[in-house]
Amino acid sequence: MAAQGSIQIQEKVSRLLSRQNGKPVLKPNRTLTLRDAVANRKLQKGEASCITEMSVLMACWKLNHFVDGLCSSEINTFYTCVKEAQAAAKNKSDHSSTQGGRLHPKLATTLLKRYPGLCSEV
């Protein structure tokens, strides 16, 4: 049965390629041109922080049968790391419009409108 399926696929591909001097019939449904605007998508979150501190805390909990009192120093270390990471993320978002070396879509659209020749074809 698998052989019949692959034969049918090969026949269909050869039929598609045999038309118009060996060029495939498949055509794009939109024109292949650059747009004047960039899609407004949410930027992906950055790298996770405080993973090491969280792992140490969980290992301490496991060793001490999940008693918080025996892991108080690890808990404090983890919460301190989380506060620092939140403060760093807030400062980064306040002072920068880029994330991970990428422009925010709104800023990219503004730049494209201001400098229309920026993305001209080569």
Tally of domains within the chain: 1
Q: Tell me which residue of 70, 76, 31 sits closest to 50, measured CA to CA.
A: 76
Residues with Cβ within 8 Å of residue 38, at least 6 apart in sequence: 105, 106, 108, 109, 112
Is residue 57 over pLDDT 80?
A: yes
Evaluate whether residue 86 is within a structural domain: yes
Q: How many angstroms separate the CA atoms of 17 and 37, rounded? A: 35
Task: Examine residue 65 and state whether it is found in any structural domain, yes or no.
Answer: yes
- Does 80 map to a domain? yes
Domain presence at residue 113: no
pLDDT at residue 111 in the model: 75
Q: What is the DSSP letter of 114?
A: H
57 is a domain residue: yes
List strand residue ranges (DSSP E) for the chain, in order: 98-99, 102-103
Mean pLDDT of 63-73: 92
Distance CA 50, CA 80 (A): 9
Residue 3 in domain: no
26 phi/psi in degrees, rounded to 5: -60, 130
pLDDT confidence band for 37 (50 / 70 / 90): confident
Q: Which residues pair with 99 in a beta bridge?
A: 102
76-104 pLDDT, tens digit per residue, is 999 999 999 888 888 876 665 444 566 67
Q: Which residue has the higher pLDDT, 9 or 70?
A: 70
Decide if 83 is inside a domain: yes
Least confident stretch, 7-21, 40-54, 70-84: 7-21
| Domain annotation covers residue 58 | yes
Using left for φ > 0, alpha for ψ between -120 and 50, and beta otherwise, residue 35 falls in beta
Averaged pLDDT score across all residues of the chain = 75
Q: According to the model, what pLDDT value does residue 122 have? A: 40
Provide the whole-model pTM. Answer: 0.43
Domain that holds residue 71: 47-91
Q: Tokens 């920026």 identify what position?
A: 118
Q: 6: which DSSP letter?
A: H
